[in-house]
Amino acid sequence: MRPAESPAGKVVAVDPGHNGGNAAHPSEINRTVDIGNGRKACDTAGAETAEGYSEAAYNLDVALRLRRLLEGMGATVVMTRTTNTGVGPCINKRAQIGNRAHADAAISIHADGGPSSGRGFHVFYPAALHGLTDDIAAPSRRLALDIRAAYQRGTHMPRADYIGHEGQRSDLGGLNLSDVPKVFIEAGNMANATDAAHLERPGFRQQAARAIAAGITRYLTS
């Protein structure tokens, strides 16, 4: 990698969605929090594959691999959680962590629980909500396009074929409350047997982390 394509000196916030203890603590994760344009549950339990591999575990594993790669290139990485045994943090707190770190880029890592017939990944970025995300919408879109291109190139995952639209969302607290460029990736569909077989493989998760690191680096250096 040429020096010009290094994220050295930049700060990246990495948010592995959900947490392994969420399902066992419904009262804590179901309480609502302010998401800027309404209220929403603090968090949810997340998806899982038919084999019982949880989304929370997938998200954290890819996030830790991503942290290792980015730190190896000289970036500073701020995580919203580093274990899979706790509860939360709530989505508003997750956004706050990236904001307080003044992150140059932030990403929430998820895997979807879509229709079992549907395959693929998709990347969301915040809508331009007045007084909320209008200042980060454009750079977040660039970050999303860089990560989408890198993920498609670096993994065997196709673009999602089961969603009506891809792109802006205004109903995700983790995006609405961000003051730094931020995106949300649904890295595959856990409910689809073909996608699940990929997501369950450590080798795939390393490819996914490498691809996301490449997308973030592209964004930070162009």
The residue (of 10 and 110) whose beta carbon lies closer to Zn ion is: 110
The residue behind tokens 């860089």 is 146
94 binds Zn ion (CB under 5 A): no
| Six-digit token string for 91 | 């989505």
Q: Is 192 left (phi over 0), alpha (psi -120 to 50) or beta?
A: beta
Minimum Å gap between C-beta 8 and Zn ion is 30
Q: Which residue in 70, 58, 45 sits closest to 147, CA to CA?
A: 70
Tell me the residue nearest to Zn ion as measured from the CB: 110
The residue (of 65 and 110) whose beta carbon lies closer to Zn ion is: 110
CA–CA dist 124, 132 (Å, integer): 16
Among residues 110, 182, 198, 218, the one that binds Zn ion under rule CB under 5 A: 110
The residue (of 139 and 162) whose beta carbon lies closer to Zn ion is: 162
Residues marked active site are found at: 186
The residue (of 10 and 148) whose beta carbon lies closer to Zn ion is: 148
Q: Which stretch binds Zn ion (CB under 5 A): 43-51, 93-101, 144-152, 201-209?
A: 43-51
| Six-digit token string for 174 | 């983790």
Among residues 17, 181, 188, 215, the one that binds Zn ion under rule CB under 5 A: 17
The residue (of 205 and 218) whose beta carbon lies closer to Zn ion is: 205
Among residues 46, 88, 181, 215, the one that binds Zn ion under rule CB under 5 A: 46
| Six-digit token string for 169 | 């969302």
Minimum Å gap between C-beta 31 and Zn ion is 18
Minimum Å gap between C-beta 10 and Zn ion is 25
Minimum Å gap between C-beta 32 and Zn ion is 18
Site for Zn ion, rule CB under 5 A: 17, 46, 110
